[in-house]
């Protein structure tokens, strides 16, 4: 496995692979890799001849008071995991390599970035869209692989790839969970024992809504009330949002669901040994069955 730190070196490598008729895949990460990231690498391996994993903690997607400085950076362990997972290249640029002195260009997907995490983290998706565009320009992949846990991020990246005519396939991989249902996340390590135990409430809330829809509930307000009631069973949980949205446009879902709807959650828990909260996200797409006689 090769470690590359300069943009130009990665571009030359990718160009050579393309010229030889081989497919290139990119898996963008911020490091602190876990099994969820390795599932993305495995999907990339199935789709390409050369798999590039980028490891870059992007400063422009962190807001004031967020955990940029504390974000874990176990590079040697991450590189070993990439090697074991079958990656061919780890791209680990410096901040200066991706944001050279005087850089002033940003990429912003306006409408999709406004709700959900965009409402509580202003500027976050501007940073995401900008760095992903830079990573795609550096790796020049045929396909880029992302997790569906960050559902809004995936929607933003799909839109920017289409709008900017980047010619790259954006692939989403289903959420990978711990045995107790908690979505895998690099931020889980910041949870103390009690907060970690209570964090499973996110999955329970999603399952409660799925069960209600399967039983025939279609009222958005009733479903959200059920979700909030479940989340309230975790005393340490502080709700950021619980919302129903159109899976494609991210516009608010109608008062009565007739089509699939994204149920998205963001919840904060106390961090172990520090004042900053740990913000966890999770989601599911609720799929109400069509009435008999109508196509689903």
Q: What is the pLDDT of residues 128-161, one digit of tens each?
A: 999 999 999 999 999 999 999 999 999 999 999 9
Determine whether 34 is an active site residue: no
Binned at pLDDT 50, 70 and 90, residue 292 comes out as low
pLDDT in tens, 187-222: 999 999 999 999 999 999 999 999 999 999 999 999
DSSP SS3 for 150: coil
Tell me the CATH number of domain 186-286, given options 3.40.50.150, 3.30.1340.10, 3.30.1300.10, 1.20.58.220. Answer: 3.30.1300.10
Q: Record the tokens describing residue 111, joined without a space.
A: 């409408």
Q: In the sheet where 261-270 sits, what is the strand order?
A: 238-245, 261-270, 277-286
90, 55 in Cβ contact below 8 A? yes
Q: Record the tokens describing residue 205, joined without a space.
A: 């809330």
Pick from 80, 177, 60: which is nearest to 121 by CA? 60
280 secondary structure, DSSP code:
E
pLDDT at 274: 64
Describe the chain by its helix, strand, coil percentages, rounded to 5. 40, 20, 40
56, 135 in Cβ contact below 8 A? yes
Binned at pLDDT 50, 70 and 90, residue 294 comes out as low
pLDDT at 67: 78
Q: Record the tokens describing residue 162, joined without a space.
A: 């289409």
Integer CA distances (angstroms), 73 to 32, 41, 150, 186, in order: 6, 19, 20, 10
Domain with CATH 3.30.1300.10 in the chain: 186-286
pLDDT at 276: 78
pLDDT at 65: 78
113 secondary structure, DSSP code:
T
Read off the pTM: 0.94
Binned at pLDDT 50, 70 and 90, residue 70 comes out as confident
Residue of 37, 101, 124, 142 with catalytic role: 37
Strands of the chain, DSSP E: 2-4, 24-29, 50-55, 89-91, 143-147, 169-173, 238-245, 261-270, 277-286
pLDDT in tens, 216-255: 999 999 999 999 999 999 999 999 999 999 999 999 999 9
Pick from 184, 179, 113: which is nearest to 147 by CA? 184
Task: Please give the angle made by the CA atoms of 119, 124 and 128, to the nearest 5 degrees.
Answer: 135
Q: Indicate the fold that domain 2-173 takes in CATH.
A: Rossmann fold (3.40.50)
CB contact burial 231-245 (16+ within 10 A = b; e otherwise): beebebbeebebbbb
pLDDT in tens, 37-58: 999 999 999 999 999 999 999 9
Pick from 146, 68, 153: which is nearest to 118 by CA? 153
Domain with CATH 3.40.50.620 in the chain: 2-173
pLDDT at 69: 87
d(CA 1, CA 20): 19
pLDDT at 202: 98
Residue 222: in which H helix or E strand, if any? Answer: helix 220-231
């Amino acid at each position: 496995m090769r470690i590359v730190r300069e943009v130009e070196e990665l571009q030359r490598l990718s160009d050579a692979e393309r010229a030889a008729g081989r497919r290139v895949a990119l898996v963008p990460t911020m490091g602190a890799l876990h099994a969820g990231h390795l599932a993305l690498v495995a999907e990339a391996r199935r789709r390409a001849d050369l798999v590039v994993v980028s490891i870059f903690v992007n400063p422009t997607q962190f807001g004031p008071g967020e955990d940029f400085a504390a974000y874990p950076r176990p590079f040697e362990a991450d590189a070993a995991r990439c090697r074991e997972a079958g990656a061919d290249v780890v791209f680990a640029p410096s901040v200066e390599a991706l944001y050279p002195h005087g850089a002033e260009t940003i990429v912003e997907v306006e409408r999709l970035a406004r709700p959900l995490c965009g409402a509580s983290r202003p500027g976050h998706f501007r940073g995401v869209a900008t760095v992903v565009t830079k990573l795609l320009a550096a790796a020049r992949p045929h396909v880029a692989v992302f997790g569906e846990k960050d559902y809004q991020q995936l929607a933003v990246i799909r839109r920017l790839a289409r709008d900017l005519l980047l010619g790259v396939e954006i692939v989403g991989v289903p959420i990978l969970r711990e045995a107790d249902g908690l979505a895998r996340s690099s931020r889980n390590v910041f949870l103390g024992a009690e907060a970690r135990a209570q964090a499973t409430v996110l999955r329970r809330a999603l399952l409660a809504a799925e069960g209600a829809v399967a039983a025939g509930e279609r009222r958005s307000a009733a479903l959200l009330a059920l979700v909030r009631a479940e989340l309230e069973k975790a005393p340490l949980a502080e709700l950021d949002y619980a919302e129903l949205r159109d899976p494609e446009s991210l516009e608010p879902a109608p008062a009565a669901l007739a089509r699939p709807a994204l149920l998205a959650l963001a919840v904060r828990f106390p961090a172990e040994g520090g004042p900053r909260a740990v913000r966890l996200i999770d989601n599911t797409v609720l799929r109400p069955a069509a009435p008999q006689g109508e196509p689903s």
